[in-house]
Structure 1
Amino acid sequence: MSYIQQSFNIQFEYRVFFTEKLFDPANTIFADFLNARATEGTRKKLLFIVDDGVTKHHDYLQSQITAYCSGLDNYELVQDIIVVPGGEAAKNDLQLFYWLVNAVDQHGIDRHSFIVCIGGGSVLDLVGYVAAVSHRGVKHIRIPTTVLSQNDSGVGVKNGINYHGKKNFLGTFAPPAAVFNDAHFLHTLDERDWRSGMIEAVKVALIKDAAFFEWMETYAHLLAEADPQSLQYLIYRCAELHMAHIGGAGDPFESGSSRPLDFGHWSAHKLEQLTDFELRHGEAVSIGIALDSVYSWLLGMLDEKSLHRIIHLLKALRLPLYHPLLEIEDGESAIVAGMEEFREHLGGRLTISLLRAIGKGEEVHTMDLELLRKAVNMLREKW
């Protein structure tokens, strides 16, 4: 027997910038980033793709982008700024995916160009996937416009779309060239969007940072009213913890079955699908966190005082705890099917994160359906 073996490492690096009014002429952070990557004598293209929910509330944005980019040397703005539908529907539309890939082709976007996406997490996921598979990888820049995308999905390395009703069935791991979190976009968010976006901060605090959880308890009354200063700290700290996990866990592309950052998500993904995505992602995750926290207590892992603190914080932030689709009868339920889909998505052994304490997650590989049923009953009847 003979064989040839090759091994190599690739260094990935990107920054998440925090700013406000990114395309104001006085704000040079975006221009500085591009100028540092310019090539003398070569004009690189910039293709902007924007969430229609953003353009509805910021009708000046397209003209502002055009004016801002006109002052960039060595860059050429594709004049057709593309506007796409926002929300989860964007990830369910295969024709939209193909249309965007065709736009990359038609506008001559190569691997030295940048695709710049402005929008919520769903549009960022879609466009990141388009960039990753076009020419085997076009550089993409993310400009998240929601709390959820600024503190979680928009700062990570995952891209994808839904397929056959399964969340993120098609996707890639492709780090962005950079992320620009612009606080100005948060001012026009729907209340459900900014409120549900805070749940990822609750999640990451529960599994990684007890002090951050305590901070949220202290300032829950301000967070519940979207106090700008409190919300900005929440976004920054949550993004910081997510990025630290990506770089420090030793498995940024999730080749194993461990995904602690998906605490509360196994049921949430299924709830989203079963409600035809009427539930916001953050709302479904809130319900999933409540369910897995109660289950952790019933299993004897989590103490009762900590459980009550978790429930109290979710209620203080006015986030949901229960949905009728959680119900389990005779060991069967639509939501339990989500467990197997979650295992498939991980690509190996069923691995679900539970809580040993606030700030300390612990993984299990089986779920007791009777205890799960009791947890659902508690959420329905007690809270």
Structure 2
Amino acid sequence: MEYIQQQFDVNFSFGVFFSRHLFDPANTCLSAFLESKASTAFQKKLLVILDGGVAASHPGLAEQISRYLGQVRGFQLAPEIITIAGGESVKNDLPLLFSLVDAIDRYGIDRHSYVIGVGGGSLLDLVGFAAAISHRGVKHIRIPTTVLSQNDSGVGVKNGVNYKGKKNFLGSFAPPAAVFNDSTFLTTLDGRDWRSGMVEAVKVALIRDAAFFEWMEQRAAALTAGDMPGMEELIYRCADLHMAHIGGGGDPFESGSARPLDFGHWSAHKLEQLTNFALRHGEAVSIGIAIDSVYSCLLGWISESDMHRIVSVLKQMQLPVWHPLLEKQDGKPSPVIAGLEEFREHLGGQLTISLLKAIGKGAEVHHIDLDLLYKAADICKNLQ
């Protein structure tokens, strides 16, 4: 038998920039980055895809973006800024996905050029995937506009859309060229989006950084009430922890079954789907964190007092810790708990669920005791 073995490494590097008023002409954060990527041999192109909700909340934003990017040396801005709806529904719209691919083709966005997504996490997932499947990978820049996307999804390497009711069934691992977090966009968020975005910081603190959890525990009420300097610090620390996990010798493209950053997510993804996304992602993750923390307590891994501390922080952030779909329905299994197998399929390989050994220390299990899980759900119901 003749045999040839091939092996190579691919190096990825990208920065997350923190700024305010990103498209103010006096702010060179984005323009300096782009001009550092310009070529003297040819002109590169830019295509902007903007969240319509963000545009409505910031009148004149599209024109401001056009003026700002139109002055960047070495780049030509596409003649239109494509404005689409935001929110989870865009990830269920395959014709919309291919309309963005068509725009990439129509405006000649090649692999030296950039697609820029401005919006929440769902829009960035969609835009990143459209870029990833065009020309086998067009560069994309993310400008997240929500708490959730600035501290978690926007700084990661995943893109995707939903398919056949399954969250992120179609997707890619395609790191952005850069991420620009502009806290000005957070000033117009509604209360639910402001609060629910914080839960990813709770999640990553619980599995990696006890001191960060304690920091949020002390400031939960102020953060919930709209403390902007506090929120900027929360986003920075949360993004830093996510980036450290992705690049810190972990498994950035998730080739194994372990998903420590998915703590609280196995039930959250199913809750989102079953409620037709009436639950925000962060609200569903809050419920997932609560049930998995209580389950960890029932295993004897964390103390009852620590479990109550976790639930208390979630409740201070005005986030839910239980949902009726966690109960058995007319004698049949809870449709959320029945989704454990679907979560295993999404991961591939054996079931792997992240739990807590302590606040600040995650651990994984490959088996869930369903009776104990239902008991955890009942406890969450009584704690809500």
Question: Fold match, TM over 0.5?
Answer: yes
Provide, for residues 5-60 of structure 1, a one-character-per-residue CA deviation record: whole Å limited to 9, x for no partner. Answer: 11111110000000001110000011100111000131111000001111111121
CA positional deviation for 1:205? 0.4
Q: Aligned residue for 1:222?
A: 222
Q: Aligned residue for 1:120?
A: 120
Q: Aligned residue for 1:195?
A: 195
Pair 1:373 & 2:374 matched: yes
CA positional deviation for 1:72? 1.5
- Letter of the aligned partner of 2:376 in structure 1? A
Q: Aligned residue for 1:258?
A: 258
5+ long unaligned stretches in structure 1: none
Pair 1:332 & 2:302 matched: no
Contact 1:199 1:285 in 2 (8 A): yes
Rounded to whole Å, the distance in 2 between the matches of 1:249 and 1:257 is 15
Q: Aligned residue for 1:36?
A: 36
Rounded to whole Å, the distance in 2 between the matches of 1:219 and 1:294 is 23
Q: Secondary structure at the match of 2:135?
A: helix
Contact 1:41 1:74 in 2 (8 A): no
CA positional deviation for 1:257? 0.3
TM superposition score normalised by structure 1: 0.99
Rounded to whole Å, the distance in 2 between the matches of 1:71 and 1:382 is 55
CA positional deviation for 1:328? 2.9
What is the number of residues matched between the two proteins? 383
Contact 1:51 1:123 in 2 (8 A): yes
Pair 1:11 & 2:11 matched: yes
Residue range with higher mean Cα deviation, 46-55 or 70-79: 70-79
Q: Secondary structure at the match of 1:13?
A: coil
Rounded to whole Å, the distance in 1 between the matches of 2:249 and 2:159 is 19
Rounded to whole Å, the distance in 1 between the matches of 2:156 and 2:33 is 19
Contact 1:266 1:352 in 2 (8 A): yes
Q: Aligned residue for 1:291?
A: 291
Structure-2 change in CA distance of 1:368 and 1:199 (3 Å): same
- Letter of the aligned partner of 1:355 in structure 2? L
CA positional deviation for 1:331? 6.7
CA positional deviation for 1:232? 0.4
Rounded to whole Å, the distance in 2 between the matches of 1:27 and 1:272 is 38
Q: Secondary structure at the match of 1:17?
A: strand
CA positional deviation for 1:66? 1.3
- Letter of the aligned partner of 1:167 in structure 2? K
Q: Aligned residue for 1:349?
A: 350
Provide, for residues 319-360 of structure 1, a one-character-per-residue CA deviation record: whole Å limited to 9, x for no partner. Answer: 111110111365712112221111111111100001111001
Rounded to whole Å, the distance in 2 between the matches of 1:201 and 1:63 is 33
Rounded to whole Å, the distance in 1 between the matches of 2:250 and 2:199 is 25
- Letter of the aligned partner of 1:253 in structure 2? F
- 1:271-282 matches, cutoff 5 A: 271-282=271-282
Rounded to whole Å, the distance in 2 between the matches of 1:73 and 1:319 is 45
Residue range with higher mean Cα deviation, 228-237 or 241-250: 241-250
Contact 1:199 1:286 in 2 (8 A): yes
Rounded to whole Å, the distance in 2 between the matches of 1:255 and 1:97 is 26
Q: Secondary structure at the match of 1:159?
A: strand
Q: Aligned residue for 2:51?
A: 51
CA positional deviation for 1:65? 1.1
Rounded to whole Å, the distance in 2 between the matches of 1:135 and 1:317 is 43
Contact 1:291 1:375 in 2 (8 A): yes
How much is the aligned-residue C-alpha RMSD, in angstroms?
0.9
Pair 1:310 & 2:279 matched: no
Rounded to whole Å, the distance in 1 between the matches of 2:59 and 2:339 is 40
- Letter of the aligned partner of 1:154 in structure 2? G
- Letter of the aligned partner of 1:336 in structure 2? I
Contact 1:331 1:370 in 2 (8 A): no
Q: Aligned residue for 1:138?
A: 138
Q: Secondary structure at the match of 2:363?
A: strand
Rounded to whole Å, the distance in 1 between the matches of 2:136 and 2:383 is 52
Among the aligned pairs, what percent are the same residue?
65
Rounded to whole Å, the distance in 1 between the matches of 2:4 and 2:59 is 57
Rounded to whole Å, the distance in 2 between the matches of 1:250 and 1:287 is 26
CA positional deviation for 1:376? 1.0
Rounded to whole Å, the distance in 1 between the matches of 2:325 and 2:8 is 47
TM superposition score normalised by structure 2: 0.98
Contact 1:257 1:350 in 2 (8 A): yes
Rounded to whole Å, the distance in 1 between the matches of 2:138 and 2:164 is 26
Rounded to whole Å, the distance in 2 between the matches of 1:328 and 1:213 is 33
- 1:31-180 matches, cutoff 5 A: 31-180=31-180
Q: Aligned residue for 1:241?
A: 241
Rounded to whole Å, the distance in 2 between the matches of 1:249 and 1:367 is 28
Q: Secondary structure at the match of 1:340?
A: helix
CA positional deviation for 1:291? 0.6
Rounded to whole Å, the distance in 2 between the matches of 1:382 and 1:85 is 36
Residue range with higher mean Cα deviation, 246-255 or 115-124: 246-255
CA positional deviation for 1:239? 0.2
